Amino acid sequence: MPSADTHRAAVLGSPIAHSLSPALHRAAYAELGLVDRSYDRFEVDEAALPGFIEGLDSFWAGLSLTMPLKRAVIPLLDEISPTAASVEAVNTVVFTEDGRRVGDNTDIPGMIAALRERGVEKVESAAVLGAGATASSALAALAVICAGPVTAYVRSRERGDEMRGWGRRLGVDVRVADWAEGPRALDAPLVIATTPAGTTDAVAADVPQNPGILFDVLYEPWPTALASAWSARGGAVVGGLDLLVHQAALQVEQMTGRRPAPLAAMRRAGEAALAAR
């Protein structure tokens, strides 16, 4: 347990045992020489979240949130950033010196930063595979970097309507296609795969010659079948660990006030943690 004068932070969610956030944040603290910082993980579901937050003392600097808490936390906060409000999802809570709880979403700028790290500043069009919470964050990122239409490949009319709704809200021209047409998505200059493990395996054989850029948000197992096929055909791949590192770096900066966060050290720690599993 940390000592009483430690500035505390943690990641909350359910399930949470798989989270790489402790490895990333602790690596950042070590690299920055922040010996008075601790970062832990706690299994917390939606029902337990209010009590957990109410029980925190003044030594807490912030929280990282994963599913299913990103929307459940919003009523418990004093303020949320425009970025978080745009997708109704908070993955970062910072506790201010005057006791306010401020929510933000670092997934969206994390996606943009991960793409820019690979030289992707603007694309003319894009495709999104999936229509869950991560897909809405992808649309928010595409609102910044995509000049033209985004085609969302979904499994149901309801999901398609949701994606169109997010598009209208975010200012993105969203067009909807049936999941069965997924192989067509791979011709887009930027493809963002937001689906659970194994979901895109069936389209891996359909990767075209000289593909564009694939952003596969998974980091375990890695590489996915789609990412492997993409790389084999000479395409650029951005992975889930890239996203995780960039969004965690932004959290470290907000929770510690130290900028820039040590990306290289955090990435090494994430790679080592995955290799150890």
Active site residues: 70
Task: Tally the residues of the chain.
Answer: 277
57, 61, 66, 68 alpha-carbon torsion, rounded to 10°: 30
Determine contact, residues 226/199, Cβ cutoff 8 Å. no
Q: In 3-state terms, what secondary structure has residue 203?
A: helix
CB atoms within 10 A of CB 238: 22
State the chain's maximal CA–CA distance in angstroms: 58
Angle of the 240-256 helix axis to the 263-275 helix axis, nearest 10: 130
Q: What distance, in Å, lies between the first and last C-alpha atoms of the chain?
A: 24
If residue 29 lies in a helix (H) or strand (E), which one and from where to where?
helix 21-32
Token couple for 110: 């994390």
Q: In 3-state terms, what secondary structure has residue 10?
A: strand
How far apart CA 91 and CA 84 sit, in angstroms, is 8
Cα-based distances in Å from 100 to 10, 95, 145, 258 = 17, 6, 33, 20
How far apart CA 164 and CA 190 sit, in angstroms, is 19
Cα-based distances in Å from 215 to 27, 163, 270 = 25, 18, 18
If residue 85 lies in a helix (H) or strand (E), which one and from where to where?
helix 82-87
Scan for tokens 């985004």, then name that residue.
150
